[in-house]
Amino acid sequence: MSFLNVVERHKAPFARGDAFVLAGDLDSARAQFEQALELAPPDSIDSCQIRVNLALALEKLGDAAKAAGDDAGATRKLGRAVQIATATGDEEMTSRLKKVVEIDNAEAGTVRLRKSVEKLDEMALDTASTKTRRIKK
């Protein structure tokens, strides 16, 4: 049985996104967070939380793409993570991302993968991407 929330339509896809993260299905989580973001009021606290979870999912997906040798996919996903981190003012996330990508235009999400990345920096990004968290607005 499922319920329809006509007032806060973003809540259901946001919750599904969180459930997909817990299940390890980050592609589905990303899609649900994107849908939730489209439905959420732009300047709401919920919108900010959705953006943070979406950016974390994208970080993890970017890491996986890079590890699999898919540099184009990694660049797209990490660029979108930079774009979201910038929009939410999450300096901690942006700082972590700068260790693995060179940011050309943060607002547009235009990045280039760094040719040489310290293994410790990759591990720090990977570890930070496995937890969701709240940020202050």
Q: pTM of the prediction?
A: 0.78
Q: What's the CA gap between 90 and 65, in Å, rounded? A: 23
Give the DSSP per-residue string, 31-46. HHHHHHHHHS-TTSHH
Q: What stretches in the chain show pLDDT beneath 50?
A: 1, 130-131, 135, 137
Q: Which residues contact 68 (CB under 8 A, 6 or more apart)?
A: none
What's the confidence (pLDDT) of residue 7?
74
Is the sign of the CA dihedral 9, 38, 20, 52 positive or negative?
Answer: negative
What's the confidence (pLDDT) of residue 42?
85
What's the confidence (pLDDT) of residue 107?
95
The fold adopted by the segment(s) 11-128 is: Four Helix Bundle (Hemerythrin (Met), subunit A) (1.20.120)
What's the confidence (pLDDT) of residue 27?
96
